[in-house]
Amino acid sequence: MKNVIYFSLTASVLSISAFAAEPNAAQPNVVFIMCDDLGYGDIHCLAPETSRIATPCADQLAREGMIFTDAHSGSSVCTPTRYGIMTGRYSWRTRLQKGVVTGFAASLIASDRPTVASFMKQQGYHTGLVGKWHLDFQYLDPKTGEAYKQKQHKTPPVGAKIPDGPVHRGFDYYHGFHHARNMEAVIENDEVIAHDPTINMLPRLTRKSVEYIDQRATDKKPFFLYVPLGSPHTPIVPSAAWQGKSPLGPYGDFVMETDAVVGAISNALERHGMTDNTLVIFTSDNGCSKAAGIDKLAALGHKVSAHLRGSKADIWDGGHRIPFIVRWPGHIKPASVNEQLICLVDLFATVEELTGGRVDGMGCEDSVSFLPALAGKPIESTRAGVIHHSISGHFAYRQGKWKLCLAKASGGWSSPKENQAPKGSPKGQLYDLETDPSETTNLYEAKPGVVARLVSQLKSDVLRGRSTTGPQAKNDVQEIVLWKSAAKSRKKTIGTTVVQRSEKNVTSSIVGRTE
């Protein structure tokens, strides 16, 4: 992309694939830092012409590693993206067809489904999570064992027990919170241990991340540290030390404080001599939220989505194209840029290849390893394309330069929303991102052949229960609506496609317009 500072696309200094297969090589540590609602344009080195926020730590990570300019979250909102990261599977294959979860409910991740954490644990890693979970779990009364009800508890009580949280899905250690509305409830492992003002959460997560690295420094076992921050998502509460640091107000301050977490973790790794043997990934779960005051920031010269259209919740790229910076000294060429298409669901297959392990049977249905890209090589994908999903459940399909949106408008919060689309608008959108990265010229009616091909491939990927090659899979739900706006506007089902697999008596269906 022309507005990125670093331009080298050459290969790294050694073969990562060979490293992963070498039996006596020390397994690398993996640190995965994910911000919450951080836009592509919020990082200065990704959009130097339109970013007015200083992000020195992320910029340094980019100088020492690789920027991916075409990386996407599994959804344009929080929960679905996190499900995809943990399982290597799109969240719309589950009961969560739109929106996010709110806690006080059974985990969205089935107890028998492999996660990145459980897999890494099997490979001999210690696994830690410091931050936001947002994939549902229950809170139990420690005396009676009965589940607390959300309508009775604005904040989960101190002492509440969690029977299906991160430590039950593969993590050895967990310190954090469920989601923004319950941020005051601090959780450690399987218990709510304290109530703490929300302004203290980001400093807490910074401190606990560093403490985790300090503790692992005394153990020869490699570690996987997942740091899903709750910032710069609302509540936008920069701590006292960071207030007034940015010319853009509280949001800018909060982004700068969030960026400092990258520096704190990098310094901890350096202090213990772990930098060279640690793969660090820095990213975001979706685009910037309108709650940040996008228009006011733009008036000050800061574009949260840079050149991209839309923001959090939308099916346009501003909703799900995200910052993605990777560092691994000696394996990734410094200050390099990679333009290959990747998605956050790809983390699972990547660590699978990195460790030389393998997930047998269920798991990784939509995940493709981007490990070769770190060495400047082409990604070997068995996936025809990447599927995007908006807050309202609208689908988009990306293949090469083409992006097909099964929506008339944003599919999310940006204007025009679906019910605001001009009368007579095409029922879908098709963009050539090679010539039109800002998605301004809709080619849906001009390229019917491309539309038909992409719709057909999307239907296949949905119905097969996976988008990669591998063992037969199935979705958790019987019906998945592809054309949300069409089905909703007519208030009834419009056309049904049913695929039957007699060998397992599995029936899957797509509901909605299928042409």
CATH code assigned at 229: 3.40.720.10
Q: Classify residue 457: in a domain, yes or no.
A: no
For all residues of the chain together, what is the average pLDDT?
Answer: 91
Q: Classify residue 319: in a domain, yes or no.
A: yes
Query: Which pTM was predicted?
Result: 0.93
C-alpha to C-alpha distance for 87 and 279, rounded to whole angstroms: 20
For the record, the structure tokens of 215 come out as 């503790």
Q: What is the pLDDT of residue 488?
A: 62
For the record, the structure tokens of 185 come out as 């409830």
**Residue 233 pLDDT > 60:** yes
pLDDT tens profile 393-437 = 999 999 999 999 999 999 999 999 999 999 999 999 999 999 999
C-alpha to C-alpha distance for 259 and 232, rounded to whole angstroms: 10
What share of the chain has pLDDT > 90, as a percent? Answer: 87
pLDDT tens profile 240-277 = 999 999 999 999 999 999 999 999 999 999 999 999 99
Q: How confident is the model at residue 510 (pLDDT cuts 50, 70, 90)?
A: low
Sheet holding 191-195, edge to edge: 191-195, 185-188, 173-177, 126-132, 223-232, 29-36, 278-284, 324-327, 66-68, 336-338
Q: Classify residue 409: in a domain, yes or no.
A: no
In the three-class reduction of DSSP (H, G, I as helix; E, B as strand; rest coil), residue 180 is classed as: helix
Q: Hey, which bits of 316-449 come out as E strands?
A: 324-327, 336-338, 342-343, 386-389, 395-399, 402-405, 429-432
C-alpha to C-alpha distance for 287 and 232, rounded to whole angstroms: 11
pLDDT tens profile 269-300 = 999 999 999 999 999 999 999 999 999 999 99
pLDDT tens profile 88-145 = 999 999 999 999 999 999 999 999 999 999 999 999 999 999 999 999 999 999 999 9
Tokens 């993996």, residue?
30
Q: Classify residue 326: in a domain, yes or no.
A: yes
Structurally, how many domains does the chain consist of?
1
In the three-class reduction of DSSP (H, G, I as helix; E, B as strand; rest coil), residue 513 is classed as: coil
Q: What is the pLDDT of residue 381?
A: 95
Handedness of CA 204, 327, 381, 433 (dihedral sign): positive
User: Is residue 136 within 8 Å of 105, Cβ to Cβ?
Assistant: yes
Could you give the dihedral angle defined by the CA atoms of residues 59, 62, 68 and 70, in that order, rounded to the nearest 10 degrees? 10
**Residue 457 pLDDT > 90:** yes
Q: What is the pLDDT of residue 5?
A: 44
CB atoms within 10 A of CB 311: 27
Q: Classify residue 205: in a domain, yes or no.
A: yes
Q: How confident is the model at residue 487 (pLDDT cuts 50, 70, 90)?
A: low
Q: What is the pLDDT of residue 362?
A: 86
Q: Classify residue 142: in a domain, yes or no.
A: yes
**Residue 8 pLDDT > 60:** no
Q: Which of 7, 9, 11, 63 is closest to 372 using CA atoms?
A: 11
**Residue 50 pLDDT > 50:** yes
Q: Classify residue 471: in a domain, yes or no.
A: no
Q: Which domain holds residue 213?
A: 16-374
Q: What is the pLDDT of residue 189?
A: 98
Q: Classify residue 311: in a domain, yes or no.
A: yes
Q: How confident is the model at residue 509 (pLDDT cuts 50, 70, 90)?
A: low
**Residue 480 pLDDT > 60:** yes
Strand pairing report for 506-511 and 479-481: parallel
Q: What is the pLDDT of residue 439?
A: 98
Q: How confident is the model at residue 19 (pLDDT cuts 50, 70, 90)?
A: very low
CB atoms within 10 A of CB 261: 25
